[in-house]
């Protein structure tokens, strides 16, 4: 039986993983940095620095503005709990 182990946290060294997620959404949207800037009020230079520069952790407010400008919504979703039925049966026996 395979047990799925979920990481409780993600430590990054280079860049926050949200930058990769946003990069994918930006490419899929076909919007230019200028289009996104006008729709989100996040400057084109900020976008450039996220994807090509030194920014390692963008602010949540800026991320959410870009997410909404791209037509998405970012929500917190509770992770599913993995239950090992064999262990549960042993515990109840």
The domains found in the chain, sorted by start residue, are 17-92 (1.10.260)
Give tens-digit pLDDT for 13-64: 678 888 988 999 999 999 999 999 999 999 999 999 999 988 889 999 999 9
Question: How far apart, in whole angstroms, are the C-alpha atoms of residue 25 and residue 72?
Answer: 9
pTM, two decimals, is 0.69
Query: Which pLDDT does position 11 carry in this prediction?
Result: 57
Angle at which helix 17-29 crosses helix 60-69, to 10 degrees, equals 20
């Amino acid at each position: 039986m395979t047990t799925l182990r979920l990481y409780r946290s993600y430590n990054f060294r280079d860049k926050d993983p949200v930058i990769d997620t946003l990069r994918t959404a930006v490419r899929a949207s076909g919007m230019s940095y200028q289009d996104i800037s006008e729709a989100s009020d996040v400057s084109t230079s900020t976008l450039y620095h996220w994807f090509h520069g030194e920014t390692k952790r963008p602010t949540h407010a800026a991320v959410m503005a870009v997410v909404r400008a791209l037509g998405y919504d970012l929500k917190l979703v509770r992770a599913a709990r993995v239950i090992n039925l064999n262990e549960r049966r042993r515990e109840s026996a």
